[in-house]
Amino acid sequence: VDDAAALAARVLTGDTRAVAKALSLVEEGGTGVEALLRQIGAERRASRLIGFTGGFGAGKSTLVEAVGACLLERGERVAVLAVDPSSPFTGGALLGDRIRMNRLASGGGFVRSMATRGALGGLSGAAGEAIAVLEAAGFDWVLVETVGAGQDEIDIAAEVDTVVVLLPPGAGDDVQTAKAGLLEAADLLVVNKADQPGADGVVAALEGMVALGTACDWVPSVLRTVARTGEGVEALLEAIESHQRHLDGSGRRDALRRTRRRRRVEALVAELAVDLVRANDPAAWTSTLDAVAAGELDAYTAARRLLAAIGRRA
Amino acid sequence: VDDAAALAARVLTGDTRAVAKALSLVEEGGTGVEALLRQIGAERRASRLIGFTGGFGAGKSTLVEAVGACLLERGERVAVLAVDPSSPFTGGALLGDRIRMNRLASGGGFVRSMATRGALGGLSGAAGEAIAVLEAAGFDWVLVETVGAGQDEIDIAAEVDTVVVLLPPGAGDDVQTAKAGLLEAADLLVVNKADQPGADGVVAALEGMVALGTACDWVPSVLRTVARTGEGVEALLEAIESHQRHLDGSGRRDALRRTRRRRRVEALVAELAVDLVRANDPAAWTSTLDAVAAGELDAYTAARRLLAAIGRRA
């Protein structure tokens, strides 16, 4: 706890080495991160939290780098968090080369790739804690991007204030079948690689979708960018700022923050309950899971039995 | 429980109306699904479980329909489960028109779109339970597809035996930065819309990635399809069957099944713990979450306090 207090104090001064260390703790999970987050919890400041989501081929990394570079030029403090949801398979492998982020890092931006831990804490848990660290460190902007095979767009959307959904040229057909989910998640819709064939079709499909929507207070704009050349990036940043002003003006930013905090408690109750049940009687845990694995016991009965055991304790 | 037994018995005969009703229970969650799954748990048969993942623009629905139609022509019993992870926002909205699945449904396939319930049960929980119902109903093949804005590829990958990752033409650059996660998740890599510009680049990038891989027992193939015309669909089905034979021959199918069952218990302990804590003292739950939302209490302290209360009970 003394270590956690010292680290928290350094994070709060914006010390980037301390921030990097704190993010490693978040990545590892466990008691280290709990102590740290208890220390910085109350001190949390408010960064502008922008999420960038979208599937393969949309060019997320390049666009995030371009937006980040724009902000750095204005003298803003910028952190990029690239979340890799592939780690449930490897148990924590970091991304290899994030070469395309070089420009940002060398320009004074803080760039961090981060694996998520296991299925239960999940992407949103780890990303949410990482964001808490970056907010405590006083970054003006935190740009969150998912990379890898999994695109937990919804999870990330829940952790940020402004959700930018990227679509690749040629995705027109898919827009038709997924309009509900897209409209719900997106604050801004961006067709990146807008100089490539098929971009017009996607823009048209998105504009049609937005026109049909029943959004009451915020209507997502449809933008075109070519992140590679920087085309449209300033306009995107203006649209992001416009959405941020909307959040401030409507009280929506505060509402989002409160909702995230509530959800975090629920997720932690779930996560810590599993730890408690396992630690309560490791032998029972193992034998119960073995029985379920062998098909001798159903999962619900097993879970109820394990939970009843911690209720009987005390 | 009597209702659950009757419904379970009908599901086990393969009655599609009973299957549809059971899937609605899964979607709703709660005690209904627990009773049902306890009944069918031990009777669960083994379908071939194939997951189709990939971002917007990859043409998943069309490809799943084409693969399903191929299987139906061979006289196989086929179910398609289209999982919509957008529902954490709407609390259970179903997809609108799934027009592209019409061919399958009219050809005797069972097609079901399904929203997931909330963040905690999550995509994999609901999808896993839906798959259990479909297996109990005796389908030879269950094709699982995610739709909507979120692409919980990793979650779905964990619930099936064979993971087909689709990439759109033009995704070459992204393959470079995400190779680790992709390789881990994919049993088969498919560049759909292979008649469009950019397909060669993606295929080359994927083949380079696979060649660099260190997979010991199964090397993912890279395939090209044009689902719209049916080109390459037979070859994809052969590749899927080849992977299925590999799973059977290596004992890997059984290992996957055991792992899934273990993970399910863990997820249920988490999910049911939240229910227990909330039901144990609803007023304390509300006031604690309010305090966290207002920034007066940190989430870890709140979660520990709520969990301690169920430990002290009994």
pLDDT given for residue B161 in this prediction: 93
Nearest by CB to B149, from A165, A173, A302: name it.
A165
B70 pLDDT higher than 90: yes
Nearest by CB to B171, from A57, A266, A298: name it.
A57
Q: Answer yes or no: pTM beyond 0.90.
A: no
Q: Do A155 and B288 touch (CB under 8 A)?
A: no
- Chain A: residue whose CA lies nearest to B171: A57
Q: How far is A297 from chain B (nearest CA, A)?
A: 8
Sheet with A48-53: strands ordered across: A110-115, A78-84, A141-146, A48-53, A162-167, A188-191, A221-224
pLDDT given for residue A90 in this prediction: 35
Chain A CB contacts of B165 under 8 Å are 149
Q: How far is A182 from chain B (nearest CA, A)?
A: 5
- Chain A: residue whose CA lies nearest to B301: A38
pLDDT given for residue B233 in this prediction: 96
pLDDT given for residue B112 in this prediction: 86
The pairing of beta strand A221-224 with beta strand B78-84:
unpaired
Sheet with B48-53: strands ordered across: B110-115, B78-84, B141-146, B48-53, B162-167, B188-191, B221-224
Q: Do A270 and B274 touch (CB under 8 A)?
A: yes
- Model confidence over A277-310: pLDDT tens digits? 999 999 999 999 999 999 889 899 999 999 998 8
- Indicate the DSSP class of residue A308: H
Nearest by CB to B293, from A54, A193, A261: name it.
A261
Query: What are B231's strand-pairing partners?
Result: B226
Inter-CA distances, B223 with A90, B34, B111, B234, Å: 25, 40, 25, 11
Chain B residues 32-71 within an 8 A CB cutoff of chain A? 34, 37-38, 41-42, 44, 53-62
A101 pLDDT higher than 70: no
pLDDT given for residue A181 in this prediction: 57
Chain A residues 143-172 within an 8 A CB cutoff of chain B? 147-155, 157-158, 165, 167-171
Q: How far is A37 from chain B (nearest CA, A)?
A: 8
The percent of residues above 70 in pLDDT, for chain B, comes to: 79
Note whether ipTM > 0.90 here.
no
- Model confidence over B79-115: pLDDT tens digits? 999 876 554 333 333 343 344 566 777 778 898 887 6
Q: Do A152 and B149 touch (CB under 8 A)?
A: no
Nearest by CB to B304, from A202, A272, A293: name it.
A272
Q: How far is B269 from chain A (nearest CA, A)?
A: 5
- Model confidence over A232-242: pLDDT tens digits? 999 999 999 99
> B158 phi and psi, to 5 degrees?
-75, -15
Q: Do B89 and A311 touch (CB under 8 A)?
A: no
